[in-house]
Amino acid sequence: MQRMLEGEFRIPSGCAVSGIMNCRGIRFPGNSIVDSISLMHERSNGLGGGFAAHGVYPDLPQHYALHVFYSDHAAKEGTEELIAANDWTVAHDEPIPTRKTGLVADAPLIWRYFLQADLSRDDRHSTTGVDDRMLQLVLAINDGVSGAFVASSGRNMGVFKGVGYPEDIGEFYRLDEYRAHTWIAHGRFPTNTPGWWGGAHPFGLLDLSVVHNGEVSSYGANRRFLEMHGYKMNLQTDTEVMAYALDLLWRRYEYPLELVAAVLAPPFWKKIDRMPKPQRELYTALRTVYGSLMMNGPFSIIVGWSGGMFALNDRVKLRSLVAAEQGDYLYAASEEAAIRQVCPNPDRVWFPRGGELVVGRISPQQATQPHEALATGGDVA
């Protein structure tokens, strides 16, 4: 057994996740999500914190909001040349406003661009085609421009992350000045990968953002599978594969959400064997075709997108995950206390089982208390 040196320690259950969404699409300030994640301060160690906000840019909802970290101005120039070379028009760009607090140090140059595609005849009427072009731009920047890393690239959403405790990152990015209908947050305690700005959570890709507490021990197999489909892993953390797997299955292949969850956290074979024949054949096929995309290891994740939020545990529930509802709001977090910090008296609190999907969907026309359809443990596609 390897002897640990004095002062070295490992907390495998470290990291914290939290998410809040309004099912009617009503935008609310970032204070609530900062308060929620800050209650779990001890789950972090100051090497990573961050937030994703969906519905945050209502004045430019159809523009791709590209948040980029730069180590120097040469990286910025190289990225902007790449943007122009790939037929994107910059409608507006600016440094992301930050607040000097003394608690966040060594910040890179942080910039955002609002981009429109110069459409060709082939992709003029195809959202998927334009999304694929943005995906290729993100991969080209991350892989080809030294010192540049894309934090988020979706429409009407943004990722605000860095090295620090999450509450300090929230103050640094002035999240009290933003409003969004869905917020997710992360406090990081890295155990296997470095703590750096690009490796902090959330991980955003197009419309999706994901935060993760745990460890993806299947990272090697997941990475090889995704690289065969054109993705490139270069952010030095296992969580990156989750964002790309979701993009492949949900956006590109358009699988229903419960089938996506069944790939990432599939039922055990003994459970599949007891299913009715049509269901048994479906889940057998999923495990056969996408066995290399199964996320092995302990995890809980929260995912935000333009249509809402979902949360998922590993199939054995080796990481904590709590969900709650109150009125038009759905909450998910690593700890019940983090929910009660911002919602002292929820209508309902429950602890999802391993592999059980908790889904919240935005429906602006719905009346109050629509939650039977929002959080049914994987019964809603």
**pLDDT for the residue 149:** 94
Catalytic residue among 14, 15, 47, 66, which? 15
Kindly report the backbone phi and psi dihedral angles of residue 162, in degrees, each rounded to the nearest multiple of 5, phi listed first: 175, -170
**pLDDT for the residue 137:** 96
**pLDDT for the residue 4:** 37
**pLDDT for the residue 126:** 60
Q: 10 Å Cβ neighbour count for 61?
A: 13
**pLDDT for the residue 13:** 55
**pLDDT for the residue 370:** 42
- Distance between CA atoms of residues 204 and 180, nearest Å: 16
**pLDDT for the residue 192:** 67
Query: Exposed, middle or buried: residue 328 (CB in 10 Å: 0-12, 13-18, 19+)?
Result: buried
The pTM assigned to this predicted structure is: 0.89
Q: 10 Å Cβ neighbour count for 41?
A: 15
- Say whether 347 sits in a helix, a strand or coil: coil
Q: Which parts of the chain register pLDDT below 70? A: 1-13, 120-127, 190-193, 365-381
One-letter amino acid of 259? L
Q: What is the dihedral of CA 264, 267, 269, 271, to 10 degrees?
A: -170
Identify whether 15 is a catalytic site residue: yes
